[in-house]
Amino acid sequence: MGLIESLREECIQISIPESYPRDKTSILRAIAQLAKKSPILTNLSEDDIFNGLNEREKLMSTGFGKGIAMPHCALKDITEFVIGILTVPNGVDFDSLDGKKTKLFVFMISPESKRNEHIRLLSGISRILNKSDFVDRLVSIKRPE
For 89, residues 6+ apart whose C-beta sits below 8 A from its C-beta are: 15, 103, 139, 140
- State phi, psi for 43 to the nearest 5 degrees: -75, -10
State yes or no: is 72 an active-site residue: yes
Select from 116, 18, 107, 19 the least CA-distant residue to 57: 107
CB 129 within 8 A of CB 106: yes
Select from 83, 75, 104 the least CA-distant residue to 92: 104
- Between the alpha carbon of residue 26 and those of residues 39, 43, 80, 141, the distances in Å are 23, 23, 25, 23
Q: Which of 29, 36, 66, 72 is catalytic?
A: 72
Catalytic sites, residue numbers:
72
